[in-house]
Amino acid sequence: MFKDLHRKEQPLLICNVWDVSSSLIAERNGFSAIGTSSAAIAKMLGKEDGEHVLFEELLSIVTAISNLSSLPLTVDIESGYGDSSEVIAENIIELAKVGVVGVNIEDSTVVQGERLLCDEIEFANKLKSVKAILNQMNITMFVNVRSDTYLLNIEDALEVSIERIAMYQRAGADGIFLPCLKFPNDIRAVVASTELPINVMCVPDLPDFEMLERLGVKRISMGNFLHEAMLDSFSSMLSSIVSEKSFGQLFK
């Protein structure tokens, strides 16, 4: 089960993908699980991150990935692609039908181009309702709650994070994801505050995997940084072809 991968001593390293090719490359390189990056998929489709991609577009991409990859697949559903618990649960059920085993859902939303934290009580109540619907429908889904306290650099991020995590745990979250959490003392405090597995993301100055394991982190993801690095490499290759008037670099 996907949940069991979060109970090992060594953190689960998730390769964040955006299409079938990236998923199959991750599988060939020995990853145990893959997860979509909403930002990478949005950029691939020429859109901005923040639910500008239609859920039907996301479902189509996810279906293609799931059909061809044998790895456990978790999907970034941003804020759920719906305002109500019922719509969000319906979306998760559609993902479950195509083989998805986990989702990331955010406690922030993008309003007129600005990302804002949701009210923690309202979000926890919505999460509780979503989980209740999934349980009623016998849908097993690892719900990883992404809390954007550190991403948005809010005041007293550690204290606020711990308060939110406690609410989300009571509401039925299966894991907690804190993008931009990187300082060892903060990571240690967050891990100690909850029984839920803690997920951190690739950012500059993030401790190495060995240190993260010692701190008690159970899941490490890449966000859209892998996709951005690939695009930079692609741009560099094209630049070489144009400047050298040769395809030599392509075959080195």
- At the top level of CATH, which class does the domain 2-225 belong to? alpha beta
The per-residue pLDDT for 252 is 83
Lowest-pLDDT range of 112-116, 132-136, 144-148, 216-220: 112-116
CA 247 – CA 241 distance, rounded (Å): 6
Q: Is the pTM of this model over 0.75?
A: yes
DSSP string of 64-101, one letter each residue = HHHHH--S-EEEE-TT-SSSSHHHHHHHHHHHHHTT--
CB atoms within 10 A of CB 236: 11
Please list, in sequence order, all residues whose beta carbon lies within 8 angstroms of the beta carbon of residue 240, skipping any fewer than 6 positions away: 249
* pLDDT above 90 for 113: no
36-53 pLDDT tens trace = 999 999 999 999 999 999
166-181 pLDDT tens trace = 999 999 999 999 999 9
210-241 pLDDT tens trace = 999 999 999 999 999 999 999 999 999 999 99
pLDDT > 90 fraction of the chain, expressed in percent and rounded? 96
The per-residue pLDDT for 112 is 83
Mean pLDDT of 108-115: 89
CA 31 – CA 71 distance, rounded (Å): 8
User: Where do the structural domains in the chain lie, given as residue ranges?
Assistant: 2-225
CA 58 – CA 65 distance, rounded (Å): 11
CA 226 – CA 220 distance, rounded (Å): 13
DSSP string of 20-62, one letter each residue = HHHHHHHHHTT-SEEEE-HHHHHHHTT--TTT-S-HHHHHHHH
**C-alpha torsion 104→1→171→196, nearest 10:** -90
The per-residue pLDDT for 44 is 97
